[in-house]
Chain A
């Protein structure tokens, strides 16, 4: 069977077919979940941490980083309800004068690359999200987060942590999907009735200590008792899994004593993702916040969601700084597509294929905007050299963005990446 068919058949069946680096798990795709000793593994991951933030539903760039003000607030064809003259700047970045934009852009403009005028070529949620986060409009590609994790170290127990959004893996890495942050926090603090309350142990501290002593005595009895070879291996695996070196205890070390309990889901997601990264068991994460599909009452609904989104990203960066890993964290923010330039009859905005993305991370130039749209929020082609608007230039799509992101992440030449080639222009979008 040739390689192409083998890979396809295997992928269709859910079998992992992955790089040589991870070949040990081809026959047992879940082997990577095992404890280090059980799988013969090893070193904590300490490379870059990739966080992909998904604004689910299709955000509106003209209320964010590609502002289109009006000169007449009564104009029925206006794109927004703010004046052109009110548009604000943070360095070279222009932003809409609404919601939490000012606080965010003033704080981060010198680290941000904004990519405007991205043509997703679709108005469908699934296909848009797929294109934005995998680089291909058609089905069948892993998300970039999955590709990053698979190339870095798919054997890590939470190599790819997902809280939603486009997170298909095509079998190249096991994804830990957790829409329920509460579940993970319960696992991080299994002996507490309330994970966020350190004084809520099921048993007293003394009882907990006595329990562990008794368990150790029992383990010693079991280890020394008669056992079939298989039983002995099974016992060793269990005892190792719950020993002091297991991953969850590492995760506990880096989780804050009190998980965030505000109504911004990105904050809890970020706490877990960064703690898992700090524990050396996570490489990439999908963070997800919804509520952007505002077909009615757009401004009142959408602008607060954008503010939630930006506050979430701000939280990621603050948390990264607090944990002294700012120089390791890469953040990519995107959404399914954009929203129609004009308001519909319900003061809502429908689906529009033109969108933007925001990127921050070590080595990514800040205070920079590439790509552009016209006054009607139509995409403008860009010159492949200087990236300025040029009608004879290249039309930006998520494919060009992903080519640039793959290059930035050092994935371009990797064997695994070559299984998922992207056709597009190689543009200096990230410098």
Chain B
């Protein structure tokens, strides 16, 4: 690695709207320095050479020195200068980064991991390295293992040196020479173990991390609150909330946290938790209750004794919904009651409402025995509770068979609660002809790499049978599988009848749990999966993707820390992400070159799901897309557009579509047309100060007189109303004469002119289309007084405003957040 080949470029922050990631504060606007090895970056200022980049906050001096007291002087290498990497944090490797960048990537991954992995030749040694499949803490785990080896000495020399030098018995033979690069790296690693935090890096990690985002402009508090309030609450933020949030980061977080109360928020949680558990599959009919064993719950269909048809159906619906959503409601309950989120797994209770209580044959106390939304904690006789892990619905939704033996459930537990995708373990070609062993899942490396992880956890759930019933196995766990356990721990025999509870305790004590909950919050808020670590070093984008992943991991870790510090308050994870650049990055960011590549996926730009668009429509127009308050929601009903618009039914369609196709664009188009037809006339029935869309105009406000001359006062009012519409519908701020307003104004005027001409020559009528007429109060269904009705449009202004409203409701900024 040669310093002479490095070039330095500087990007000055372009926007004054710089904010730190959640929990971090930026006090300086130090320059962000990109150190480049090789061409291609438009910001380069010096001579070409090399092939990679190092991104660091070198400060205004441009020295680029690593400023460290440890490490790379001993290696002779630039700690910042790996030619394949982009260091997005700073130019100094602290102990954690040193392990990742040097020990892991340059030595262990290249020389050791081929044998020292869970299925490798050294799988039974004390050094077993895990890959990114392990989940978000795989580097931490490897560091712990390697540190433990390094601390073991023989005659004053660490085993970490002796083994690869083959100076003691090492089946892998000699892997390094004294004085070579690997030797120097190991030597420095051991020195750092003896003298932790001696690296000399600036100790303000948060500030360093914040600097990495300096090229990312952050959107205004108003916009942030707008996105949060419309999605979580189905309303727009109040001016008081915006004023408060504009006072500072802490106040913004306070306002965001204040949003996380109330039924609209808990309903939103129900949606996002179901996106994971998918138990809404059992909502139709009595599908959930039918999964319960009538021998266990002989009163399960108690509602059949109700004579009145309507009451019987309603009771069945309330009971079935509570049973179907028992796991989802338990997660919501934990948040609602401000309990540690670990309780979603460790809860020693189940949750019932007055109706499902009867199904289960329990009789807890309720405030209102008719309220289907009242949930209380109960102990179901004979069931050792472990939150979601003891939910019959969870076990039914992720079923097992005699041959699957809970492996599927194990995989889902890893995925949901540990952020670990065990299927990526199998992402390599397997020669099926090679699998001839007896019991290959135990003995064949092709199989055991997965099964050594999956099977022990599967065993902890042994008491749950294929129908999700608690049925401890008389014969115990399968002797031809690994014993029940988790990580390296074997489940004690005393936990045999409460394996799920034992497992829950292990999971919540695992660092991966906190991070996986942050990941879940990210999916809920951003509508997409977190970045995954790139796997193809040959890819042209590898270095950028790696840098982006590293940044995101750092932010997630910071949020997870706060989440844990706040006693696992799930709201903390949500607030953290909503305050972060991932949610708040502004389109005003001036990204170029490397920063553009690294921040390729930052920002919202989320295509709203049917549920979120439904909420936004209500927030903006004041009305849902329904024929009546009790009618079917066009956007969220599976009978109408929910599936077409990318939603899920939790049954056969379980993954949301996050990019629109032609069908979805058509749904949006219809929504924009129909909602403008309905809401514009309704708005005109109200006094101006109560209108949501048209507070600055009346139906008699026409832009020109009979001679074609502008009427200035009317034109001004129309333009002011357009400014209001852009702000309300799209969240955009313009002056009345902005080109964006001009487009809408021209649309209004030209439609109006055509309409007036059409009325004159009788090609158009005076009346509004019948289903756009506002003759009744939408909410009550009562006829409006004659003078308040809007069914005629002799000036053609209502229809012109309908076109403008269609224009705005179909806009990118309305359909995305």
Q: In this assembly, does A406 line the interface, its C-beta being within 8 Å of a C-beta of chain B?
A: no
B603: chain A residues within 8 A (beta carbon): 228, 230-231
Whether the pair B802, A202 counts as a contact (CB closer than 8 A) is yes
Q: In this assembly, does A218 line the interface, its C-beta being within 8 Å of a C-beta of chain B?
A: yes
B656: chain A residues within 8 A (beta carbon): 30
B669: chain A residues within 8 A (beta carbon): 190-191, 242
Q: In this assembly, does A92 line the interface, its C-beta being within 8 Å of a C-beta of chain B?
A: no
Whether the pair A187, B812 counts as a contact (CB closer than 8 A) is no
Partner of B750, one of A168, A210, A228: A210
Whether the pair B667, A227 counts as a contact (CB closer than 8 A) is no
Q: In this assembly, does A71 line the interface, its C-beta being within 8 Å of a C-beta of chain B?
A: no
Minimum distance in angstroms from A204 CB to a CB of chain B: 7
Q: In this assembly, does B806 line the interface, its C-beta being within 8 Å of a C-beta of chain A?
A: yes
Q: In this assembly, does B665 line the interface, its C-beta being within 8 Å of a C-beta of chain A?
A: yes
Given A12-B399, A33-B661, A204-B755, residue A235 in contact with residue B666 (CB < 8 A):
no
Task: Number of A interface residues at 8 Å Cβ cutoff, please give it.
Answer: 70
Give the docked Cα–Cα distance between A388 and B176 (Å): 79
Given A211-B747, A228-B585, residue A157 in contact with residue B423 (CB < 8 A):
no
A residues at B contact (CB < 8 Å):
1-3, 5-6, 8-10, 12-14, 28-30, 33-35, 38, 157-158, 168-169, 174-177, 179-180, 183, 186-188, 190-191, 193, 200, 202-204, 206-207, 210-211, 213-215, 217-219, 221-222, 225-231, 233-235, 237-239, 241-242, 246-249
User: What is the interface of chain A mostly: helix, strand, loop, or mixed?
Assistant: helix
Minimum distance in angstroms from A255 CB to a CB of chain B: 12
A10: chain B residues within 8 A (beta carbon): 423
Q: In this assembly, does B411 line the interface, its C-beta being within 8 Å of a C-beta of chain A?
A: yes
B residues at A contact (CB < 8 Å):
278, 398-399, 404, 407-408, 411-412, 423, 425-426, 430, 432, 435, 440, 446-447, 450-451, 585-591, 596, 599-603, 605, 607, 639-641, 643-644, 646, 652-657, 659-670, 673-674, 676-677, 739-740, 743-744, 746-747, 750-751, 754-755, 758, 764, 769, 771-772, 799-800, 802-803, 806-807, 810-812, 815-816
User: What is the interface of chain B mostly: helix, strand, loop, or mixed?
Assistant: helix
Partner of A215, one of B588, B605, B807: B807
* Known A38-B659, A187-B667, A246-B661; further 6 A-B contacts with Cβ < 8 A: A10-B423, A187-B641, A203-B803, A215-B807, A228-B589, A234-B659
B677: chain A residues within 8 A (beta carbon): 193, 202
Give the docked Cα–Cα distance between A98 and B739 (Å): 71
Given A202-B806, A230-B602, A230-B605, residue A248 in contact with residue B407 (CB < 8 A):
no
Give the docked Cα–Cα distance between A5 and B665 (Å): 38
| A-B residue pairs, 9 tightest by C-beta | A246-B662, A190-B670, A247-B662, A242-B665, A241-B665, A14-B654, A234-B605, A202-B673, A1-B426
Whether the pair B605, A231 counts as a contact (CB closer than 8 A) is yes
Whether the pair A157, B662 counts as a contact (CB closer than 8 A) is yes
Give the docked Cα–Cα distance between A231 and B596 (Å): 12
Partner of A204, one of B596, B668, B764: B764
Given A9-B404, A190-B670, A242-B669, residue A247 in contact with residue B663 (CB < 8 A):
yes
Closest to A281 in B: B662
Partner of B278, one of A9, A14, A206: A14
Closest to A38 in B: B659
Give the docked Cα–Cα distance between A242 and B666 (Å): 7
Whether the pair A230, B665 counts as a contact (CB closer than 8 A) is no
Whether the pair B661, A38 counts as a contact (CB closer than 8 A) is yes
B586: chain A residues within 8 A (beta carbon): 228
Partner of A2, one of B435, B591, B670: B435
Closest to B751 in A: A207
B404: chain A residues within 8 A (beta carbon): 5, 8-9, 12
Closest to A233 in B: B605
Given A2-B432, A190-B673, A191-B673, residue A168 in contact with residue B652 (CB < 8 A):
yes
B450: chain A residues within 8 A (beta carbon): 1
A210: chain B residues within 8 A (beta carbon): 747, 750-751, 754, 803
Minimum distance in angstroms from A314 CB to a CB of chain B: 29
Give the docked Cα–Cα distance between A193 and B677 (Å): 9
Partner of B657, one of A9, A13, A34, A186: A34
Whether the pair A187, B663 counts as a contact (CB closer than 8 A) is yes
Partner of B803, one of A5, A38, A207: A207
Closest to B670 in A: A190
Q: What would be 6 A-B contacts, judged by CB atoms less than 8 Å apart?
A: A157-B662, A187-B663, A214-B746, A228-B587, A229-B599, A230-B602
Minimum distance in angstroms from A31 CB to a CB of chain B: 9
Whether the pair B816, A238 counts as a contact (CB closer than 8 A) is yes
Give the docked Cα–Cα distance between A331 and B434 (Å): 45
Whether the pair B806, A211 counts as a contact (CB closer than 8 A) is yes
Give the docked Cα–Cα distance between A249 and B661 (Å): 12
Whether the pair B655, A203 counts as a contact (CB closer than 8 A) is no
Give the docked Cα–Cα distance between A30 and B800 (Å): 38
Whether the pair A1, B447 counts as a contact (CB closer than 8 A) is yes
Whether the pair B663, A235 counts as a contact (CB closer than 8 A) is no
A229: chain B residues within 8 A (beta carbon): 591, 596, 599-601
Whether the pair A177, B806 counts as a contact (CB closer than 8 A) is no
Given A12-B399, A183-B640, residue A248 in contact with residue B744 (CB < 8 A):
no
Whether the pair A203, B662 counts as a contact (CB closer than 8 A) is no
Partner of A187, one of B398, B653, B670: B670
B607: chain A residues within 8 A (beta carbon): 234, 237-238
Minimum distance in angstroms from A196 CB to a CB of chain B: 14
Closest to B446 in A: A2
Given A9-B404, A13-B412, residue A214 in contact with residue B662 (CB < 8 A):
no
B657: chain A residues within 8 A (beta carbon): 30, 33-34
